[in-house]
Amino acid sequence: MADTSVITKTIAKVCLMIDMLYSIDLLLIGGNRPGGGFIGGVLCAAGIGLIYVAYGHDAIKKIWNPDWHMWFGYGLLFASITAWSPLFAGHKFFRSAFDFIPVEVGGIHLFELEMVSSMFFDLGVYFVVVGGLLFIVTKLGADKGPEGEHE
């Protein structure tokens, strides 16, 4: 395990929180502005990868050890279902639809929330990217190499 300072570990935690918030923001704005599942997933994987680097693969594995390849698989399944589902409604492949949902509290209209069906595709892409990148990071981090080999 790599010896890292308390400062490095603390900064890694702060960076993870900022990365996750911005990652979710990029995911949510993907239907209307630049961003989306891919870049949001890359940012999420970078934040979690930084935690792996700061704390070490073995220490993180004891606390949290998800199967990243399952994230990849479920994301691919979700994105595929989203892309193919318009065909069953008589529309073209990958057709996107949107609707505005009014948000009211106590009978007072606050705002309208725009729901875009491409958001679900972006969510699938997000999980594919996070799962794929972190699967690679964890496999590389777990590879110790031959004993006694130094670079």
Q: What is the pLDDT of residues 50-63, one digit of tens each?
A: 998 898 888 888 88
Give the model confidence (pLDDT) of 110-137 as tens digits.
888 777 778 888 999 999 999 999 999 8
Lowest-pLDDT range of 5-9, 93-97, 104-108, 130-134: 93-97
Does the pLDDT at position 109 exceed 80? yes
Give the model confidence (pLDDT) of 29-84 as tens digits.
876 677 788 999 999 999 999 998 898 888 888 888 889 999 999 999 999 998 88
Given pLDDT bands bounded at 50, 70 and 90, which one contains residue 147? low
| Identity at 137, one-letter amino acid code | V
The predicted model gives 23-29 an average pLDDT of: 89
Where exactly are the structural domains of the chain? 4-140
Pair 130, 44: CB distance under 8 Å = yes
Pair 131, 70: CB distance under 8 Å = yes
Does the pLDDT at position 142 exceed 80? no
Q: How far is it, in rounded angstroms, from Cα 150 to Cα 119?
A: 47
Residue with tokens 């680097």: 53
